Amino acid sequence: MIAVVFPGQGSQKPGMGKELFEAKAVTKDIFEMVTSATSVDMQELCFDSDEETLRQTQNAQLALYTVSLAAFASLLSMVPELKVDVAAGHSVGEYAALAAANVVSVTDGARLVQKRGKVMADAGKTQPGTMAAVLGLDREALEKVCQDAGGVVVANDNCPGQLVISGEVEAVKRASEMASTAGAKRVLPLNVSGAFHSPLMEVPAMEMAKSLNATPFQQGRYKVYANVTAEPGTAANQWPRLLEDQLRRPVRWTETIQNMIRDGVDTFIECGSGEVLSGLIKRISKDVKTLAVGDVASLEKTVAALNAK
């Protein structure tokens, strides 16, 4: 079974998607659809922005969504008979997964991502918070640290040995020190504008719910695994609530990949900027195959690997 996966914030980089845009006509269609839906010039944002501009939450999320779907479209143009069985996306990547599966349209997805980026960027001003990556500590030990520190939660379970905590600024600082004492190899503060995937996202989640509930969701052409449950969303009407919850609840990426493997997935194709997810997946299971589509070279390599199957 084949799964396509889509990266989240942190994978963005200046010039992302430009090679594919110049090489494949289908990618231009995606860029034009997102530009039309959001009134943001996606070529300018992805190709001409500097690192600092692209790092801003509202810009990073829209750019990642666009390039992820452009990469997926370029793959399908090369392997039109490709049978994708399931999909998933990390955080904002979940919106690209839903659009790829036709659960939501590309344009509706773009408008939702634009809204999400705005409410998340604004959240840091009204409810200050931060995040930190904790390396080399198991989840159970880190959850105890968070409980003892108060005001902080495990926000991302990315792979064994790589977790992210999120919460009030002082609480994250306190928990970071406690995690180091508890045996973490490294604790790295993240350059983010708020405490994403934590209870501090309650206001943005409620704001997001208005847009989600006004957006049509369909059954889709294959199942998408949800960040908050690590299981496939089984009904179209589930998705507004799942995506609303995603802002305030942890991204259960390790469990998501484990459950996809449990359900028969043996090949993962990462579509979008970079290969962060491929690295995480390999740390979750060494038995699966990972492929990526982010530029022309990786596209050609992935097409060759799929044709050889």
Question: Would you call 31 exposed, middle or buried from its count of C-beta atoms within 10 A (0-12, 13-18, 19+)?
Answer: buried
Which of 90, 176, 193, 197 is catalytic? The answer is: 197
Nearest in space to 91 (alpha carbons), one of 12, 150, 26: 12
Residue of 208, 233, 251 whose CA lies nearest to 116: 208
Catalytic site includes residue 298: no
Query: Which of the 8 DSSP states describes residue 45?
Result: I
Sole residue written with tokens 């399931």: 86
Residue 36 falls in the annotated catalytic set: no
Residue from 11, 49, 68, 91 carrying the catalytic annotation: 91
Structure tokens, 296: 């022309």
d(CA 299, CA 24): 11
User: Is 80 in a helix, a strand, or coil?
Assistant: coil
Active site residues: 91, 197
